Structure 1
Amino acid sequence: MLDVTDEQITLNELRIAAYHEAGHKMLYERFGGAGDAVVWRNQSGNPEETAWRGQFRPRTCPEAMQKVARKQGFDVPPLPQNWKVLVGMGGLVAETILSGETDDAGVLADILVSRIWNGEASASDLALMNISDIDNFALSYDSVDECMRVLRDGWSDVRQEAECLIATCLPDASFKSTMCSTLS
């Protein structure tokens, strides 16, 4: 029988939260924006909640950056119409890639739908995906496939960001400085 300790569960939840937020960040930056992924220990004390929370905090919007670039005379390709949807689903897709669960976009879309129905998507992720009613929505398999492809192509960036987030949350300061300086 596999014996998993509370500490192992907590570390796994930290890893999942870090990769989730790093997925959002990588996609947002891929479209020309900038922001910060953060994770922190959940202090609620509720054992039904995960031990770690996270958030992606945008600083500059891809649309605003495009306007500035065009105003300065740069020829920039237009943003895809679904860029916000891709950023919104990026965290859940990154978690699924991390788990190694599937490489099939159709299966991945079904997993995302199930997780959304089960309340595993944040309000901000749902808003970006244009989901206002979790009982009545659809995900484009093409968007899920595109999100998975972009994340896989940039997985080294996702990993670097996530591992740095993890390192900053661990108590061993020497490990933190070594990990983040190696990843920078």
Structure 2
Amino acid sequence: MKQKKEIKAVISDIGGVMVLGDNMKTHYLPLIKSLKIDNIEFFKTYEKYVDKASRGKMTAKQMISFMANDLKINKEKLLKNWIKFKKKSVKKNYELEKIYKNLKKNYVLGSMSGVLDLHYQLFNEKYIYNIFKFNIYSFKVGWNKPDLQIYKLLLKKLKLSPKEVLFIDDNPICLTPAKKLKINTIQFKNNKQLIKDLKKFNIKI
């Protein structure tokens, strides 16, 4: 029987993994309520621009300005409230940060996330990215998960075989391209489950 290759790098998603609480319920719905606008119209407009913004084709502030124009609301107010509720919703996963600190002793620890430039700045204020040896940001590289190119970029950066890499993400859609390239994957649900799954890969915690 062919022996499995040893994992040498652990790559983590950020939103929903290292950052908890930052979701529709805690960020976007309070934002919508504060502006007294229709939910459906807001998300329809958001979807119109977010793909380009997440891939660096426009800045988040440009996206928010276009959205304000489409929704016929004040762009300064939308930006101000956007930042206000985003900051409130971002909670660092401190328990996971401790786990990752231990992993750093034996593995290359990196992150790969779909993120807007504005959200990157807000996450940076909370030192979300500091624990990682390197970070791949969608808005900087021009690709976002689940684009296959961003996973290929990851492998190129690591200079490792896909079977020597473990990728952690809470979204199964973002795990599919990794699996296609033969990268090992774990779907994150909570810290307890992650520890259990890491042990299945003989990861030293």
Larger-Rg structure: 2
Tell me the TM-score normalised to structure 1 length: 0.27
Q: Which has the higher contact order (CA 8 A, sep 6+)?
A: 2
Tell me the TM-score normalised to structure 2 length: 0.25
